[in-house]
Chains A and B, each alone.
Chain A
């Protein structure tokens, strides 16, 4: 479903964020990308959602090279990929409800569908009563759950989560991870980038380890091993 083929990303001649990375992700998989900060996890995810372009190689989503898409096709790709970030990236001027509804509005979904679906996902992430709160009125864990709800609401094929627990305490961390597992069990592919050893070892799913921009290990089930 997703395939990285000989992908390199070079920011300047001294440092390469990614070097000749190749692997693929099947539909319905739960895969973790692990590695130290700067190993290239985030860059890989950014390449997938066309936030950045690779210096070399190709990134395929459903057999299409996402970097060969025309600019007007990119929004449609992004609506099929729900993205979750370490810093939540919520719209500060919109309430939790509006933040989630926004993802459906951009896809041109009718009002009735929005009114139906948003409360459902709010309930799913356990924030039924916080719909009218602005992000500044929510805790870190709550913000991340709003972000997950937003990523989920248009029923994407893939959820990419870039260090989603980086800013959260252990309890909230596990809430988020449990949510991701639940989402995966409902059939959505999940790509989780993290450097949290405990999470990886507890998950016991496929693990792709990156070091200095290169894949050093790809095991299923894998563990957190960085040498």
Chain B
């Protein structure tokens, strides 16, 4: 058993080495496949980042009438927070609101002066509510409309922004879905190309396979070295894909950062480097091994 395994391993290595050109071509195609996959993965990270940052900018604000007592507002906040659709809420009291306004317009002396002229604080306290998903704002607004706190609320800005929010959330969900579908299609095409390359490589060995069988080799004894070769193709192509990706990210990453500061591709890549390496190698090996297994099947029927 161990002798057989050792023989299969060494035959796999030897075939890989002696089929130099074929191995190179297969590794090259599989490298491109893995690069497409990794590119799609990073593209997804970027897309998710952009969409998340867009989504996080959507919220609804509830403004309370000037005489609304703070404990009542706090009660309301607590109630809202218990809703399953709500991600978080932020309470801005009247004092905070005026401070924010003053900070923002500190250079504008007429505005500050007119505020002083007014004597009292004209700002209403408000509660910013962010939903877990962008599609849930409608139901949150409906809920607020029906609460017993209705009398302390002066306005909800959802109604005003309703179309904008709904359109944006629609765009986000469509983009997510089509991105996913597109990624799947691309990944599938990449698999097909790699699979066909392996198939061609095995096709060129079909005579050998039948000879091995006629000499009395069992199916696994014939398959073994091809599986070994597939594994080697996977390992090498994963190595090459990484050695293309790392410098490429070094070039693209910083440029990307300058116009999308929320998404740091490089830190994402290095933060997940082991997962990426492992995933890529596993994908390469799985691709190599499964393609070999499927491609070899018909030639084993001798």
Contact = CB atoms under 8 A, between A and B. Distances in A.
A90 B302 contact: no
A93 B214 CA distance: 17
B3 interface: yes
A83 interface: yes
A79 to B, nearest CB: 4
Contacts of B278: none
Interface residues of A, number: 25
Interface of A: 49, 51, 71-72, 75-79, 83, 89-93, 102-103, 105-108, 110-111, 150, 154
Contacts, number: 52
Contacts of A105: 7
29 contacts: A49-B214, A51-B214, A51-B302, A72-B218, A75-B216, A75-B218, A76-B216, A77-B216, A78-B214, A89-B207, A89-B210, A89-B211, A93-B18, A93-B19, A102-B212, A102-B215, A102-B217, A105-B7, A106-B212, A106-B215, A106-B216, A106-B217, A106-B221, A107-B216, A108-B4, A110-B3, A111-B3, A150-B215, A154-B216
Interface in B10-26: 14-15, 18-19
Contacts of B3: 108, 110-111
Contacts of B217: 75, 102, 106
Contacts of A75: 213, 216-218, 221
A132 to B, nearest CB: 14
A105 B221 CA distance: 9
A111 B215 CA distance: 18
Contact of A91 (B19, B212, B219): B212
B218 A92 contact: no
Contacts of A77: 216
B262 interface: no
B206 to A, nearest CB: 12
Interface of B is mostly: helix
Interface in B24-48: none
A100 B208 CA distance: 14
A49 B302 CA distance: 10
Contacts of A72: 218
A9 B215 CA distance: 23
A89 B18 contact: no
Contacts of A106: 212, 215-218, 221
A103 B211 CA distance: 10
Contact of B208 (A93, A103, A150): A93
Interface string B215-229: 111110100000000
Nearest to B10: A105
